[in-house]
Structure 1
Amino acid sequence: MESFEYENRTKIVFGRGELENTGRIARGYGTRFLLVTGRKSARATGTYDRVRNLLEAEEINVFDLDNVQSNPVLSRVRDGIEAVKKHRIEAVLALGGGSVMDTAKAVAAGSVLEKGDVWDFFTGKSEIENALPVLTVPTIAASGSEMNGFMVITDEKNHHKLAAGSPSVYPRVSILDPVLTCTVGPDYTAYGGVDAVCHLLEPYFNGSAPSTPVQDRIAEGLIINIMDATGACIRNPHDYESRATMLWSAALALCGLTKAGVGDHFFPVHMIEHSISALFPVAHGAGLAALLPGWMTWWAEGNNDKVAQLGERIWQIRENDTSDAARKTVQAFRTWLAETGCPQRLSDIGITPGEHRNIAENAMKQAGIWNVADLYSVETIETILAYCV
């Protein structure tokens, strides 16, 4: 285990009916809020009206930034920054999924930027030093953005989907009411489960520390909970306990706890998927599902032991030959994807081998920013993608 410092700046308010405390909590951060929402679900379920009424009951002035799309785009972030400056916004409240929360964070950081452009945070030209307060009310279990300082935005003109982060954009408070996630359909319930599992697997496999028994067991326990709860939520969308398990597990999956002590690491599967969803209309979780079995197969060629460990602890796979165990582990993961209705290969999301070079070249933008282009070159990424067909 490597040395580390761990801090999480987000206060969590969790439980059935906690949405009703939104106005009271928000009032402590100002009286002029930008309310960030997606395209339709929050309004269709009535959650938008409930939140707006709760805010206005506390004499909070509410201004909208709606129509945030899945795989959020830079132009909408800039619209939000303009709205903040026009209406003298004091804080930002995100009501929705990861795209909404990431947009809210980018708006909060970009609004206080004195020089340059908000995209400079994502290209590495500048660092986030300050931001307006961000509060979140997640309506899907997936990204974990409600409990971390990261965000991902797409420059839709240049087709680059990049990540940025800072302690300044940790949500001050996140209100996790599992009831709000009961209206999520089976497809996005499954995609959310895959996203959360991938958040755990990336540091699990890619950390530089040779021994991480604590981190491994935490990750493995969360993976089991997420897989079990995903299936339960698909079978019964209004199963409160399963929805609660999903929501809290997804938040924990990327709150920094499970990767503290694993040493140097990065998220190569996410890096490659970001290029896919920047170039093609693919849901983030679906893209991860299409990549993960192939990436694990490629990774296992030089790292059988860790993949075999995952198989033994998640699926009770025991083989004398670790390469056999690793192969069966990947197959077990494919089976779970199939059971939840997720893609298992790039062909399942319409990506052909002829697109591989374009995806790999696009991924080099993030690889360069993360200084991992030597590990994940165009040729290496093309090789990985060939495992994913």
Structure 2
Amino acid sequence: MKNFEFYLPTKVFFGKKVLRQFPKEVSGIGKKALWVFGRGSIIRNGVYDQVKEVLKKANIEYIEFGGVKANPLLSKVLEGIKVAKEEKIDFILATGGGSVIDTAKAIACGVFAEEKIWDFYERKDSPTQALPIIAVPTIAGTGSELNNISVIVNDETKVKLSMNSPWIFPKLTFLDPTFTFTVPPDYTAYGAFDAFSHVFEVFISREYKKDCLTEDLMVALMKNLMKWSKAAMYDPTNYEARANLMWASSLALCGLPKAGMGKYRFFIHALEHTLSGVYDLPHGLGLAVITYAWMKVYKKNKLLHKFFEKVLNIKIEDKISVEMGIEVFENWLRDLRLLYTLKDLKLPQEDLEYLIDKAYHILTIWQVADEYSKEDVSKVFYTAYFGESKP
């Protein structure tokens, strides 16, 4: 294995009714919170009332900041920064999915550097401090509750980028799988595939290719995500399914599944960020489309073959067995109702060259363009659109 550093300062509480520990744990963090959430789902499923109750028990004053949407916007972040400054907020409480937590992270560091906030995403600068963040996830997927990453869309340029900083690890995370019981089947699938992709992209692009403990961890995570995603979709109140899906999603991007793997490339994520930045497509859906296309284009990738063997239990001996691996993966996508082309999703064909340019720009910012050319991007996008390479 390669040398690595691993840092994870988040304290996690997992299981039923763990929110009861909130009043004790929040003591000393602050007395006034900016409570960030989405567009009403936490009110409908009762999580809003539960959080409100523990805030009251903890004697925490709070300002509600709702309305965060999927593929969260920079304009909403700037609005939140303004409120946090005016109200002299002590910490940020995020209740919702990854978009809510990512917005909370951006606000937390933006309070100290409002004018530089987008520079953090363009990798031109880095945060030097942030308000404490507490996460209460209500969907399994992004893993933002257990990592130092925030993804935001610039509404003006339609560019979707990520920021990494040790300052934005949540201080506390409360993972109650019952909070995900009401997540609809399609969003359960989107979240599960997002989590799967976080592991899969490391697995198929890593510098260290030998068998090792970290590889075994990645294999276990991918197998569990594939297993429990289907169970949770078709039996939404199955606690074991929701619990395993939630924990696997949290672990997928916490740093452990890449430990000792050396360099890796989030090529598929870069292409998908282009889609969800421009069209507001569900992130997990876009990832499924791009991943399936990537498999078709890069079917000779030796680490993809290793994925087929170790995760899908298909011995790769020839071209036929590779096609069998792709077919088994296709069947999983079909089970999750994620088997689409960009054409199926009615994205304009005339936008393809624009998307290719935009995706390559993201690859450049992420310093991935050294291994992928614009032609590589083009092959995957055209395959994602037509189901085959450029006609």
TM-score, length-scaled by structure 2: 0.95
Distance 2:316 2:69 in 1: 45
Distance 2:355 2:170 in 1: 32
The DSSP-based 3-state class of the residue aligned with 1:116 is: helix
Distance 1:254 1:297 in 2: 25
Partner of 1:344: 340
Partner of 1:150: 149
Output the amino acid matched with 1:81.
I
Partner of 2:270: 271
Query: Does 1:369 pair with 2:365?
Result: yes
Output the amino acid matched with 1:95.
T
Larger displacement relative to structure 2 (282-291 or 17-26): 17-26
Distance 1:28 1:296 in 2: 49
Distance 1:212 1:348 in 2: 38
Partner of 1:169: 168
- Give the fraction of aligned pairs with identical amino acids, expressed as a percent: 35
Q: Give per-residue Cα distances to partners, 1:35-59, cap 9 Å, x unaligned.
A: 0000110111121122122112211
Aligned in 2, Cα 1:137/1:284: closer, same or farther, shift over 3 Å?
A: same
Count of equivalent residues = 385
Partner of 1:357: 353
The DSSP-based 3-state class of the residue aligned with 1:119 is: helix
Larger displacement relative to structure 2 (218-227 or 97-106): 218-227
Query: Does 1:95 pair with 2:108?
Result: no
Quick one: which of 366, 369, 377 aligns to 1:381? 377
Larger displacement relative to structure 2 (51-60 or 145-154): 51-60
Partner of 2:286: 287
Partner of 1:31: 31
1:28 CA displacement: 3.0
Distance 1:43 1:195 in 2: 25
Are 2:29 and 2:132, in contact at CA under 8 Å, matched by a contact in 1? Answer: yes
Distance 1:267 1:243 in 2: 27
Larger displacement relative to structure 2 (266-275 or 337-346): 337-346
Are 1:36 and 1:100, in contact at CA under 8 Å, matched by a contact in 2? Answer: yes
Output the amino acid matched with 1:324.
I
Distance 2:115 2:68 in 1: 23
Distance 1:229 1:15 in 2: 17
Partner of 2:12: 12
Are 1:26 and 1:55, in contact at CA under 8 Å, matched by a contact in 2? Answer: no
- 1:317-332 equivalence runs, <5 A: 317-321=314-318, 323-332=319-328
Distance 1:75 1:235 in 2: 37
Partner of 2:230: 231
The DSSP-based 3-state class of the residue aligned with 1:64 is: strand
1:298 CA displacement: 1.6
Distance 2:263 2:286 in 1: 25
Output the amino acid matched with 1:320.
E
1:12 CA displacement: 0.7
The DSSP-based 3-state class of the residue aligned with 1:132 is: coil
Distance 2:268 2:316 in 1: 27
Distance 1:350 1:343 in 2: 14
Query: Does 1:311 pair with 2:337?
Result: no
1:346 CA displacement: 1.9
1:199 CA displacement: 0.4
The DSSP-based 3-state class of the residue aligned with 1:218 is: helix
Output the amino acid matched with 2:257.
T
Partner of 2:295: 296
Partner of 2:246: 247
Distance 1:326 1:356 in 2: 28
1:62 CA displacement: 0.6
Distance 2:19 2:285 in 1: 29
1:201 CA displacement: 0.5
Partner of 2:3: 3
1:202 CA displacement: 0.7
Q: Give per-residue Cα distances to partners, 1:109-151, cap 9 Å, x unaligned.
A: 11112x7321110112211121110110000000000000001
Distance 1:377 1:318 in 2: 31
Partner of 1:186: 185
TM-score, length-scaled by structure 1: 0.96
Distance 2:212 2:325 in 1: 19
Are 2:360 and 2:377, in contact at CA under 8 Å, matched by a contact in 1? Answer: no
1:212 CA displacement: 4.6
Distance 1:43 1:254 in 2: 28
1:352 CA displacement: 4.5
- 1:42-57 equivalence runs, <5 A: 42-57=42-57
Are 1:290 and 1:348, in contact at CA under 8 Å, matched by a contact in 2? Answer: no
Are 2:316 and 2:322, in contact at CA under 8 Å, matched by a contact in 1? Answer: no
Distance 2:43 2:373 in 1: 44
Are 1:52 and 1:62, in contact at CA under 8 Å, matched by a contact in 2? Answer: no
The DSSP-based 3-state class of the residue aligned with 1:346 is: coil
Distance 1:93 1:366 in 2: 30
Instruction: Give structure 2 stretches of 5+ with no counterpart.
Output: 386-391
The DSSP-based 3-state class of the residue aligned with 2:12 is: strand
Partner of 2:389: none
The DSSP-based 3-state class of the residue aligned with 1:330 is: helix
The DSSP-based 3-state class of the residue aligned with 1:341 is: coil
Distance 1:74 1:172 in 2: 23
The DSSP-based 3-state class of the residue aligned with 1:279 is: helix
Partner of 1:141: 140
Distance 2:313 2:264 in 1: 27
- What stretches of structure 1 move > 4 A for 4+ residues in a row? none
Distance 1:221 1:4 in 2: 21
Instruction: Give structure 1 stretches of 5+ with no counterpart.
Output: none
The DSSP-based 3-state class of the residue aligned with 1:95 is: strand
1:309 CA displacement: 1.8
